[in-house]
Amino acid sequence: MRPLSLKTKFAAAVGIAALAVGCSTAPIKKTEDAEAAKASRVYLDSVLPLPVSSRLVSDVICAVPAEAQKPAPGEKSGPSKDWKKLIAYANACAKAKSWGTLDTIAQALARADLNSPWGAYFQSLAAEGIGELQRAMWMADLAQKKAGGRAGLFAYQKGRILFAMKETARAMTEVQHAVELDSRLVDGHLFLADVYRRDLEPDRAVASYKEVLKNEGDNYRALTTLAELSLERGANAEAIEYYSKAVHAHPAQLQAWLRLAYIYETVQKNGAQALVTYRDLKMSIDRGSVRERPDFDLNAKIKALEQAIQASRAPAQAKAAIQGQPKSVKK
Amino acid sequence: MAALIATLASTLALTSTALAAKKTQPGDSGVERELRFKEGDESGNEVKALKTELLVIKSEKKALDQLLRLEKKYKNTRMEAEILFRLAELYMRRARSERFFEVHRNSERIMTFAPQLVKDASESAEIRKAIAHYQRIQERFPRFHSMDTVLFNNAYAFQQINDDKGAEALFAKLVKEHGSSSLVADSYLSMGEIRFKARDFTGALAHFKQIRRFPRARVYPYGLYKAAWTHYNLQDATSGMQQLEEVIKFGREVAQNGWDSKLDLRKEALNDLALFYTEVRPSIQAVDYFMAQARELDASVYSMRLVELYKRHSRYNDVEVVLKDILAKLPKGEATASAHEELVWNYDRTKRQSFAVTQLAAFDDFCTQTQLDAAKNLKKGQVAPRLECQDKIADTSKRLAGKWHGIWKKAYGFTTGNGGQDIAASADRAYRLYLKSVGGKDVDQPSIRYAFAELLFARKEFREASENYAALGTFQKAGGKIEQKISQDAAYAAIVSLEKAVGDKWSDPDEKRFGELSEWYISRHPEGPYSLELRFKRAFIAYEKERYDDAAPQFKKIGWAPEYVKPGATIPERVAKAQDLYLDILNIKKDYKAIKESAQILLSATSASTAAPRTAHIEKIYREAYFAEIQTREEKGDLAGAVEAYKKFALENAASELAPKAWWNASQLQFRMGDATGGANTCYQMHKIFPKSPNGRECLTKAANTFESMGRLDLAARVLLNLSEVEVENQSKWREVAADFFAMSGSKDRAITMYLKLAEVKKSDAMVALLDKAATVANEMATTGGDTKRLAEIEKLFTDKNIEPQASRLVVEQAEALFEKGDHTKAFNVAKRIISKESLPKSILARARFVQARVLEDEYRKQSVKAKVERVGQVLAIKTEKLEKAQKALQSAIRYGDPTVSVKALHRLGDCYVDYAKTVRSMTLPATVAAADREAFKNEIEQLAIPMEEKGIESMNQALETAKKAQLRDGQIADLQAEVNRLNLKPATAIMTVAGPQIYLPVFRYSQEVMQ
């Protein structure tokens, strides 16, 4: 077992105290502990941080496995035999929001693998789940310590807790630190981007959304929001590009089809490209790729655009075609 | 006549036979054999002597009866004188028998056999009868043919009854009247002796000188001899020496001529010459003188006589001179050995022990040479007889060695220095000479050898001492008798000496010798006081030479002997040591199990009352072995077993100083095994079981670390409380951390209580910090559980103690709460309580002022503008006044510079302005008022509303900018923007809601590995 804070006696005690209660006001420390990082590496390197909503998170049912009661192995023998299994069950319980069971598994993890940060992390999630935010924060900090201060996920968790505490500014700082440590935390980028966008800081919002795309190039929300932000500042071509990517990556998303078509048709006055988009949408619907239906008559719209295009070649005909524009295709 | 002669002949023959029976050696007669004395049979011999006397008396009586009858028969005849002479001789003879009984008058045995004879015995009576008969002859037969003999015998009889005067007269008569008698010289001798006896030396000398006239007389040399002595007594030793020299010379002639050897008085003369010599001549010439006088006789003997005389007069120098001369000039003399011996003693008398012992050695050499010389004459197979000189050497050396040893011992023997080494060395040599020369019959030999060994030991000649002590054992083994105590002491002393000789390192031969000696002691004295010691030592030597397999069973046999290993037994030191060393060997062999078992046997057998310190010692060993056994188990990798064993040990031996260490080891092993929970729990228990353990602090710290690391803050908190008791100097710190952990692990109320208690003893900032923590936890309780009691308690403390800004912050919060409840007046007044405290943080003051502003804003908003025409102006004025009040208050709040309050205040202010514009625009005059007036009124109102509306938009924009500048992330920026847009008549857009980021979970790259 590695020495922890109490080993350094008084100074450590002060540190614990600050973590325990004063964490809501104390500055976030970014100190790193190479030794702790080395000890916990085996627990961190083999996993990927994925959002709870991911279908990859767990395929087991939340329960306390028998392995949680097993005696722990010797320190020198490395990680316990069952730690991965315990994490799988913990993930399932987190996903199921079964906080009590999660806490039990988390304690088993903490007991069996003292160098592993996962016990503390899941304890943090369990505490957060039942509203024990101070405790959740302390556990997240403990997890971060065990990770040597280098794990983005635990900073991200602290950001989440701070946000729940309505400490949005501090939450942003922590999340920012989290994504700097681990840019795979796409939801961190999205969170920052959303706040910036809400608080009328479009440039920082764009930068954050783009960070999302760096890690997840087909992120639908990033693509569509970036498209809208581009549109707001008149960068129509850019908006078209983002929506195009969104449609390409998420062809089932009807709204993206419609906004792309709208920009072509209304903003750029490019009826031909709008027609192509509507036609592609129709094909997708016909193939079943898009299950939603627009609140207007798509066939009529296509027909109207075809007529308008013909009319543009013969202006009299074109006027009549324009009169059939649907109202619902607005932002 | 012929018959008479025949009768006398037979009577005399009878008498002669009777006399002869007393004088002659036993013959073949049965009576003689019966009367022969037996050596050593004192009482038997006495009886035999009595029987002999009785036989003689019987014969004498017969002879006397016969003679008395003859006297009567031949009375007044020529035969009467002859018969009287025979009777006188017979009475003289009987006097001797009477003397026998007189002498044995005190003998009970003689008295038993012949009481009357003893009672009646009288020698003098018989002599007087003889005298009477001699007198009758002298008187009645003056011409008796043997008158000179009668006179001589009569004189002799007078001498026997001590009548020297009468005797002297008779001797004189004989000399005078019978000058040609052969008894004249004898008579002179007798008269000289009577004078000599009467110390009339001159008279005596005159008589003795007369003898010189009769050189053929038997008494001639004796006369010379007596004359010498008379000279000596007349203080004329020189003349005396001359007389003696004459005696010697005469004696030499007698010898040379083959005369009667009785006349050769050389030996007596030479002997007495020594006395005279000392008077007149120097010692240096003595030996030469005596050699000259003695000639063919051995001068050493007479020289030694001289030595005796010098010695008697303590003339030791003269003694030494003569003795040295004897040894030099008479090396083969009869008395040479005595000279050697005497010289030894002379040196000793003069306190020259080294000379003495050197001389003793010379004596020994002399004796040895003598023996060698004697051996040359022995036939093959013949054993040389023991020489007298050997006995002398043995005796002398024995006595001197003992004496010198005693002196040395008394003077130096008990000191540690080297004093008296000369005398000690002399004693040493003397002992050696003794042991060399002593024969097998000296009963003192064992004790002398023992004494010699003692001396050697005292002189630190340990090895030789050992050999000599041991020699007694050999002596005893060969059948020699030794006193039990000496035997026992010697046997042990031989071993002790060997030990001393060996020192620290035991060679194999020495060890073997030790074994032999100790075996000798133990076999002969199995219950001896040193038997145990020796058995121990034998084992100990093997132990020291690291032959543990040899030593161990021996130690075990001693240390675990049933007579010692039983309740109430007193454990001798050696037994205890044997136990210790046996256990030590087991320890060296790391056989802790055996140590434990052996110690347990001792513990179960001994009682605390009799051997408490020993029991404690064994207990200690038992525990250490027990402990070590567990350590071995641990080293072999049985960690779980070791943990269990350590704990068992600790609980079973709680009083042992190893107990806390065992408990500590158990905890550390658990940690090492990865059973951190178990380890931490063990540490937690350690404080309760072994509160004074030196590892207590470390263990508790580790437990706290572990529980903390596991996120078990509830357990960590409890451990920290214990740690605060151990680490008193940091007590408050650990309690505070414990309170922190309690707060986070659900025990909020307990945490608050601890914070408050800790705050009681703290000052200023530290106290406030603790109260802040308590307030934070209490606030959580109030927020999540609705329990505001503890919060109120803490707030009261802030207030009572006037702790700022906490107290004022509470006032503000109270005002805000009151406002939210609608109790605006009270809210306003509460806020007013702190508004004048300029020292407070601006944020607090801003909030307080903002509460007041909200109250005033509310008053403004409540102020109705509905009124009758005549009161429109007044109502409007009131509304405007209210607005101004609210405006001032809000602006005042903004001026404090707190961004949050400023943004809110600007927002409220802008809202007020817009509201005012809207309100005044809504004012209309009734239809009864002229249309023109109504139009004019409307225009006036519009003039009033437009700038207010513009101010409203401006304030709202200011609020937005301030919010942006302050980067307020609570969503106000979006709200304000929406409001600004609304006021600017822009289309309304949905306000974006930011959701918290979703949970992320660790997912394995290769999920198929997970469930295997």
Residue B697 has pLDDT above 90, yes or no: no
B1008 touches chain A (CB under 8 A): no
| Mean pLDDT score, B373-381 | 84
Mark which residues 747-806 of B lie under 8 Å from A by CB.
Answer: 773, 776-777, 780, 784
pLDDT tens per residue across span B32-43 = 667 677 777 777
Does residue B802 sit in helix, strand or coil? coil
> In chain B, what are the helix, strand and coil shares in percent, each to the nearest 5?
75, 0, 25
Which among A4, A14, A16, A95 is the top mutation candidate for probing chain B, defined by the most B β-carbons within 10 Å of its own β-carbon? A16
A58 touches chain B (CB under 8 A): yes
Q: How far apart are the first and last CA of chain A?
A: 58
| Mean pLDDT score, B372-392 | 85
Burial class (CB in 10 A: 0-12, 13-18, 19+), B810: buried
What backbone torsions phi and psi does residue B891 show, to the nearest 5 degrees? -65, -35
Burial class (CB in 10 A: 0-12, 13-18, 19+), B825: exposed
Of B737, B968, B970, the CB nearest to A13: B737
Nearest CA of chain B to the CA of A145: how many Å? 10
Q: Give the separation between CA B24 and CA B26, rounded to whole angstroms.
A: 6
| Mean pLDDT score, B133-161 | 93
Count helices and strands in chain A by DSSP H and E runs: 16, 1
Residue A10 has pLDDT above 50, yes or no: no
Which among B707, B1000, B1005, B1011 is the top mutation candidate for probing chain A, defined by the most A β-carbons within 10 Å of its own β-carbon? B1000
Confirm if B599 and B583 have CB atoms less than 8 A apart.
Answer: yes
Residue of A nearest to B727 (CA): A9
Of B676, B776, B999, the CB nearest to A72: B676
| Mean pLDDT score, B667-684 | 84
List chain B residues with CB under 8 Å of A55. none
Which pLDDT does position B621 carry in this prediction?
Answer: 85
Q: Kindly give, in sequence order, each residue whose CB lies less than 8 Å from that of residue B304, ignoring residues fewer than 6 positions away.
A: B326, B335, B338, B339, B342
Q: Give the separation between CA A13 and CA A7, rounded to whole angstroms.
A: 9
Nearest CA of chain A to the CA of B855: how many Å? 27
Nearest CA of chain B to the CA of A151: how many Å? 12
Does residue B678 sit in helix, strand or coil? helix
B736 touches chain A (CB under 8 A): yes
pLDDT grade, residue B416 (50/70/90)?
low
Of A74, A185, A200, the CB nearest to B673: A74
Residue B998 DSSP one-character state: P
Which pLDDT does position B288 carry in this prediction?
Answer: 94
pLDDT grade, residue B31 (50/70/90)?
low
Which pLDDT does position B929 carry in this prediction?
Answer: 86
Confirm if A137 and A110 have CB atoms less than 8 A apart.
Answer: no
Among A41, A34, A46, which residue's Cα sits nearest to residue A149? A34
pLDDT grade, residue B923 (50/70/90)?
confident
Which pLDDT does position B113 carry in this prediction?
Answer: 78
Q: Give the separation between CA B133 and CA B136, rounded to whole angstroms.
A: 5
pLDDT grade, residue B611 (50/70/90)?
low
pLDDT grade, residue B20 (50/70/90)?
very low
- Contact check, Cβ <8 Å, B999/A52: yes
pLDDT tens per residue across span B420-475 = 888 999 999 999 999 988 877 888 888 899 999 999 998 889 999 999 999 888 88
pLDDT tens per residue across span B551-582 = 999 999 998 988 888 777 778 888 889 988 99
Confirm if A49 and A182 have CB atoms less than 8 A apart.
Answer: yes
Q: Give the separation between CA B828 and CA B424, rounded to whole angstroms.
A: 122
- Contact check, Cβ <8 Å, B676/A164: no
Helix A118-129 / helix A152-164 crossing angle, nearest 10 deg: 10
A66 touches chain B (CB under 8 A): no
| Mean pLDDT score, A137-164 | 94
Residue B699 has pLDDT above 70, yes or no: yes
List chain B residues with CB under 8 Å of A131. 784
Nearest CA of chain A to the CA of B673: how many Å? 4
Percent of chain B at pLDDT > 70 equals 95
Residue of B nearest to A188 (CA): B997
Mark which residues 99-118 of A lie under 8 Å from B by CB.
Answer: 106-107, 110-112, 114, 118
Of B730, B743, B780, the CB nearest to A10: B730
The one-letter amino acid at B541: I
pLDDT grade, residue A15 (50/70/90)?
very low
A317 touches chain B (CB under 8 A): no
Which pLDDT does position B26 carry in this prediction?
Answer: 46
Does residue A274 sit in helix, strand or coil? helix
Of B971, B995, B1000, the CB nearest to A51: B1000
List chain A residues with CB under 8 Å of B974. 198-200
Confirm if B654 and B692 have CB atoms less than 8 A apart.
Answer: no
Of A19, A54, A168, the CB nearest to B969: A168
Higher pLDDT pick, B18 / A99: A99
| Mean pLDDT score, B975-981 | 92
Nearest CA of chain B to the CA of A239: how many Å? 20
Alpha-carbon distances of A278 from A230, A260, B75, rounded to whole Å:
22, 9, 219
Nearest CA of chain B to the CA of A251: how many Å? 25
Burial B492-519 (b: 16+ CB within 10 A, else e): bbbbbbbbebbeeebeeebbebbeebbe
What backbone torsions phi and psi does residue B1003 show, to the nearest 5 degrees? -120, 135
Alpha-carbon distances of B495 from B466, B477, B518, B538, rounded to whole Å:
6, 17, 7, 11
Q: Give the separation between CA B747 and CA B742, rounded to whole angstroms.
A: 5
| Mean pLDDT score, B685-691 | 87
Give the DSSP H or E segment for A51.
strand A47-51
Q: Give the separation between CA B314 and CA A49, rounded to whole angstroms.
A: 128
- Mean pLDDT over each residue of chain A, to the nearest integer: 84
B964 touches chain A (CB under 8 A): yes
CA-based radius of gyration for chain B: 72
A153 touches chain B (CB under 8 A): yes
| Mean pLDDT score, B600-605 | 83
Side-chain-side CA neighbours of B493 within 13 Å: the count stands at 28
Of A10, A123, A153, the CB nearest to B711: A123
Confirm if B396 and B436 have CB atoms less than 8 A apart.
Answer: no
Burial class (CB in 10 A: 0-12, 13-18, 19+), A140: buried
Percent of chain A at pLDDT > 90 equals 66
pLDDT grade, residue B866 (50/70/90)?
confident
| Mean pLDDT score, B898-927 | 92
Percent of chain B at pLDDT > 90 equals 46
C-alpha B46: how far from its chain's center? 66
Does residue B204 sit in helix, strand or coil? helix
Cross-strand partners of B1002: A49
Residue A115 DSSP one-character state: T
Which pLDDT does position B11 carry in this prediction?
Answer: 44
pLDDT grade, residue B764 (50/70/90)?
confident
Residue B927 has pLDDT above 80, yes or no: yes
pLDDT tens per residue across span A274-291 = 999 999 999 999 999 999
Q: Give the separation between CA A307 and CA A310, rounded to whole angstroms.
A: 5
Among B529, B515, B623, which residue's Cα sits nearest to residue B572? B529
Side-chain-side CA neighbours of A317 within 13 Å: the count stands at 12
pLDDT grade, residue A313 (50/70/90)?
confident
pLDDT tens per residue across span B58-92 = 888 888 898 899 988 888 888 899 999 999 999 99
Which pLDDT does position B30 carry in this prediction?
Answer: 66
| Mean pLDDT score, A114-120 | 92
Sign of CA dihedral A99, A102, A108, A109: negative
Residue of B nearest to A107 (CA): B710
Which pLDDT does position B480 carry in this prediction?
Answer: 84
Which pLDDT does position A242 carry in this prediction?
Answer: 96
| Mean pLDDT score, A44-73 | 84
Burial class (CB in 10 A: 0-12, 13-18, 19+), B922: exposed
Residue A324 has pLDDT above 80, yes or no: no
Which among B994, B1001, B1008, B1009 is the top mutation candidate for probing chain A, defined by the most A β-carbons within 10 Å of its own β-carbon? B1001
Does residue B44 sit in helix, strand or coil? helix
Burial B140-176 (b: 16+ CB within 10 A, else e): ebeebeebbbbbbbbbbbbbbbebbebbbbbbbbbbe
Side-chain-side CA neighbours of B946 within 13 Å: the count stands at 5
Does residue A50 sit in helix, strand or coil? strand
Q: Give the separation between CA B346 and CA B307, rounded to whole angstroms.
A: 10
Tokens of B371: 């023996």
A166 touches chain B (CB under 8 A): yes
Residue B810 has pLDDT above 90, yes or no: no
Q: Give the separation between CA B862 and CA B579, rounded to whole angstroms.
A: 105
Residue with tokens 């008085």: B265
Residue of B nearest to A135 (CA): B744
Q: Give the separation between CA B14 and CA B241, rounded to whole angstroms.
A: 48
Higher pLDDT pick, B928 / A11: B928
Of A6, A49, A195, the CB nearest to B708: A6
B805 upstream amide cis, omega within 30 of 0:
yes
Q: Give the separation between CA B599 and CA B626, rounded to whole angstroms.
A: 10
Among B291, B361, B356, which residue's Cα sits nearest to residue B329? B291
Of B676, B1001, B1010, the CB nearest to A50: B1001
List chain A residues with CB under 8 Å of B997. 156, 159-160, 163, 175, 187-188, 190-191
Length of chain B equals 1012
Nearest CA of chain B to the CA of A247: how many Å? 23
pLDDT grade, residue A9 (50/70/90)?
very low
List chain A residues with CB under 8 Å of B709. 1, 4, 110, 114, 142, 146
Side-chain-side CA neighbours of B343 within 13 Å: the count stands at 25
Which pLDDT does position A314 carry in this prediction?
Answer: 66
Among B386, B297, B385, B306, which residue's Cα sits nearest to residue B338? B306
Residue A78 has pLDDT above 60, yes or no: yes
- Contact check, Cβ <8 Å, A47/B999: no
- Mean pLDDT over each residue of chain B, to the nearest integer: 87
Which pLDDT does position B4 carry in this prediction?
Answer: 42
Which of the listed ranges B14-23, B350-359, B472-481, B917-926 does the model predict with the highest average pLDDT? Answer: B350-359
Burial class (CB in 10 A: 0-12, 13-18, 19+), B563: exposed
- Contact check, Cβ <8 Å, B1001/A20: no
Residue A75 has pLDDT above 60, yes or no: no
Q: Give the separation between CA A215 and CA B934, rounded to whole angstroms.
A: 68
pTM recorded for the entire structure: 0.59
Residue A326 has pLDDT above 60, yes or no: no
**Torsion angle (degrees, nearest 10) of CA B182, B187, B189, B190:** 140
